[in-house]
Amino acid sequence: MTTVSASNEQADVREPSDAEVVERSWDEPEAFAVLFDRYAADIHHYVARRLGTGAADDLVAETFLIAFGRRTIYDLRRSQARPWLYGIATTLVARHRRSERRLYRALARTGVDPLPEPVADQVVRRVAAQDQQRLLATALAGLSQADRDVLLLVAWGDLSYEEVAEAQQVPVGTVRSRLHRARRRVRDVLAAAGRSMTTEER
Partner 1 sequence: MDDLKLLEELRRDIPPISPAAARSARARLLAAARRQRPAVRRVGPRGGLFRVGWRVAVAAALGVVLTVGVTVTRDPGVDPEHPQQGRSPAVLPIGVANAAELGDRAAEATAARPDLNPRPHQWIYLETRRATRTSAELFAAVGAGRVTTRFWHRIDGKRFAYEYRGRLHQERNYQLSSVFPLRTFAYVRRLPADPQALLARLYATYSAGGERPYGRVRLSREEQHRAVFGLAADLLRDNLVPPGVQAAIYRALPRIPGVQLQRDAVDAAGRHGVAFARVHDGHVRAEIILDPQTYQYLGWRQIVVKDFVPNGTVNGKRVTLHVAPGTVFDWTARTAAAIVDRPGQRP
Window of 3-11, 15-23, 26-34, 159-167 that interacts with partner 1 by CB under 8 A: 26-34
Give the phi and the psi of residue 139 in degrees, each rounded to 5: -65, -45
The single-letter DSSP state of residue 15 is S
What is the DSSP code string of 102-157? HHHHHHHHHS--SSPP--TTHHHHHHHHHHHHHHHHHHHHHS-HHHHHHHHHHHTS
Q: Which of 65, 76, 94, 197 binds partner 1 (CB under 8 A)?
A: 65
Q: Which of 10, 61, 94, 145 binds partner 1 (CB under 8 A)?
A: 61
Smallest gap from Cβ 118 to partner 1, in A, equals 5
The single-letter DSSP state of residue 32 is G
The 137-176 site mask, x for binding partner 1 (CB under 8 A), equals x-------------xx-xxx--------------------
Distance in angstroms (rounded) separating the CA atoms of residues 126 and 129: 5
Helix (H, G, I), strand (E, B) or coil at 57: helix
Torsion angle, alpha carbons of 176, 193, 115, 185, to 10: -20
The 108-137 site mask, x for binding partner 1 (CB under 8 A), equals -----x-xx-xx--x------x--xx--xx
Query: With respect to partner 1, which residue has the nearer C-beta, 79 or 156?
Result: 156
Query: With respect to partner 1, which residue has the nearer C-beta, 40 or 172?
Result: 40
Smallest gap from Cβ 63 to partner 1, in A, equals 9
Task: Identify the helix (H) or strand (E) that includes residue 63.
Answer: helix 53-69
Window of 36-44, 74-82, 83-91, 167-175 that interacts with partner 1 by CB under 8 A: 36-44
| Crossing angle of helices 33-51 and 18-27, rounded to 10° | 120
Residues that bind partner 1 (CB under 8 A): 25, 29-30, 32-33, 36-37, 40-41, 44-45, 48-49, 53, 55-58, 60-62, 64-65, 68-69, 113, 115-116, 118-119, 122, 129, 132-133, 136-137, 151-152, 154-156, 183, 186-187, 190
